[in-house]
Structure 1
């Protein structure tokens, strides 16, 4: 009898080992939103506490904005400077400057007439040997000088009337656009010193305290989204070929008799490290793949982190 009982025991044990549960094990999770510091500044206000419910757009952390406000003011001044310079170029020269240039042309014209007359008198006297060649040369030099001054005066007047070059105006426009873009960037940096909730949910973590200087890039807020949770489970390799994204699956939650229906939203293509709780004893040596199954609004009140099981297709 003893050998026979031993045989039955071995057969029963083998049957238990070959038994397949057709379930993927895991936990319920929610999306976690991490907000990072965009600058190294001191925290001056923490209006919310960890665990509070927050809504999208609500202020969570306020950094010291004084330094950045100064940068914004400087950028605004640069924009005004560029705008006024462009306005000066496009409006043309002042009427007073044009009138002054016209008067300068008239003055040089009169000086040229006088220089020409003096040269003519000197030439007449030189023919009569009543003056020296040096005086004649001086008169000629004065005439040529007066002619050159008149030419310069006319060119200056023409330049004032024609206005600035198109290239100069385009350059001024480009400088103004650059200053406006820089102002927008500085204003955005100032706005980011007021850290607001980007999603509604529960304030999960505030790693830094009031008065601390936070390094740039550090996580300063963690929000657990308030939408329905998803089942994060590990699928044994034999079932992978039977699953597709968007497939409806049954999800069971420990301690709740209701069976929830979820939608497969993610299925890893590579084997994942498997926590000890995700597989039973028979499956621990097998390959598994991470999967996420979205639950509906009927699961909104379920807590995060509790064990869950997903029925797998036979």
Structure 2
């Protein structure tokens, strides 16, 4: 006698479609082993002046892309301009004094000395003639010894005056002594250094970018007082954008600097290529007592990757991303 096999129940078509959809959704929800979650981070550059002052000019605004060397802001600089002018005047005075030492007295001053010498020579000639007359008179008894002594002293004094003026003219033609010139040259060097310092202080009141990037924030408004060293503009250069993500302990050994990854984000038209720039040597989470297979799965390591400068503007700090190993 043949036994009839029981008939296997058939699922309705609608139930089969529902089950297939659930299985497909579950498969899609499972994360790939080489895909990790992370976020974008920016290393901001705070641009400030080393000196305090009122904010007179703000040449940029938030969200603006600026190139290298673009003007950012300027603080009031009246005091610095006055200090530079003073330093320039002091330098010119020191240089003129040094030049005067090198050339000796001016021609007009030498001419005055020559005129004085001519007068002295004429006086010396008169005194010498008077001494000769008195000498003859004394010999014949016409004058006393006292008058002859007075004539002899006057002639000697006038002759000494002539020699003095001749030496003055010779000295007037000579430059200043070496020691005097060296001292004045040091004064000129000090004046130049003071001018350079004044110009440096003035230049620091007007600030420009040292590299291209995004103007992320401008904390001050025109007319506000800015303390020394307080950031007036916060910049985000393209090279300072990076992606931080965490990988499990089983994967970290296969990652290295220079390795290529892809960064995916909501709203990105296409994946952004990036290069791993840092792999942490220590885990972010360490079990409290001992390692086990269960706790080891909880170990994660920080990894950082940087996109190319051209792709950096596509990513924004704080934006969640998905990183895929290539």
Q: Calculate the TM-score normalised by the size of structure 1.
A: 0.71
Distance in 1 between the 2:164 and 2:283 partners? 84
Structure 1 position 222 matched with structure 2 position 240: no
Q: 1:146 to 1:237 in 2, by over 3 A?
A: farther
Q: Is the 8 A contact 2:51 2:228 kept in 1?
A: yes
- Contact kept, 8 Å, 1:228 with 1:295, in 2: the verdict is no
1:302 aligns to what?
315
The range that moved more, 33-42 or 92-101, is 92-101
In 2, the alpha carbon distance for the partners of 1:101 and 1:263 equals 85
1:187 corresponds, among 177, 187, 199, to 199
Deviation at 1:42, TM superposition (A): 0.9
Structure-to-structure mapping, 1:157-196, within 5 angstroms: 157-196=169-208
- 2:215 aligned partner: 203
Matches within 5 A, 1:74-89: 74-89=86-101
Secondary structure of 1:61's match? strand
Where do residues 271-310 of structure 1 align in structure 2 (5 Å cutoff)? 282=295, 292-296=304-308, 297-307=310-320
Give 1:287 shift: 9.6
Give structure 1 stretches of 5+ with no counterpart.
Answer: 1-20, 275-280
For 2:61, what is the secondary structure of its paired residue?
coil
Q: Which runs of 5+ in 2 are unaligned?
A: 1-32, 286-293
* 1:187-236 superposed Cα distances (whole Å, 9 cap, x missing partner): 33223222223322222222222222212122221111134722345788
Q: CA shift at 1:145, angstroms? A: 1.8
Measured in 2, the distance between the counterparts of 1:283 and 1:72 equals 66
Q: Distance in 2 between matches of 1:217 and 1:91?
A: 49
Aligned to 2:144: 132
* Cα deviation digits, residues 89-138 of structure 1 (max 9, x gap): 44443322222222222322232233333334334444444333332332
- The correspondence for 1:101, drawn from 105, 110, 113, is 113
1-side partners of 2:153 and 2:193: how far apart? 57
Whether the 8 Å contact between 1:24 and 1:236 is mirrored in structure 2 is no
How well do the aligned residues superpose, as a CA RMSD in angstroms? 3.9
Max radius of gyration: which structure? 2
- Kept in 2, the 8 Å contact 1:249–1:311? The answer is no
1:247 aligned to 2:276? no
Question: Which position in structure 2 is the counterpart of 1:10?
Answer: none
Once the two structures are superposed, residues 11-45 of structure 1 have per-residue CA deviations (whole angstroms, 9 ceiling, x without a partner) of: xxxxxxxxxx8888753223421111222211123
Instruction: For 2:276 and 2:56, locate their aligned partners in 1 and report how far apart those are by CA, in whole Å.
Output: 43
Change in 2 beyond 3 A, CA 1:243/1:134? farther
Q: 1:254 to 1:120 in 2, by over 3 A?
A: same
**2:74 aligned with 1:62, yes or no?**
yes
Q: Secondary structure at the match of 1:112?
A: helix
Residue 130 (structure 2) pairs with residue 118 (structure 1): yes
